[in-house]
């Protein structure tokens, strides 16, 4: 699990994308095509206004 959650980046979605890039970098290059990356959101993200989801 990654902390903080996606909802904490509501005011700065570019930073959320950077965090996903960081997660991607830990996967060895040779395995990137066969390891799925799943992004899940919990209630915190659902509670944001629609324009920030």
The range of the structural domain enclosing residue 14 comes to 6-52
Is 1 within the bounds of a domain? no
Is 42 within the bounds of a domain? yes
| Tens digit of each residue's pLDDT (9 = 90 or more) over 1-43 | 557 778 888 888 888 888 888 878 888 889 888 988 787 777 8
Q: How many independent structural domains does the chain possess?
A: 1
Is 34 within the bounds of a domain? yes
pTM: 0.54
By C-alpha distance, which of 33, 2, 31, 32 is closest to 19?
Answer: 2
Is 19 within the bounds of a domain? yes
| 9, 15 Cβ separation under 8 angstroms | yes
pLDDT at site 2: 59
pLDDT at site 1: 53
Is 12 within the bounds of a domain? yes
Residue 42 or 49, more confident: 49
């Amino acid at each position: 699990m990654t902390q903080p959650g996606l909802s904490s980046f509501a005011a700065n979605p570019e930073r959320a994308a950077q965090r996903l890039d960081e997660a991607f970098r830990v996967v060895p290059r040779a395995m990137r095509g066969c390891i799925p990356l799943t992004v899940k959101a919990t209630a915190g993200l659902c509670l944001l206004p629609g324009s920030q989801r």
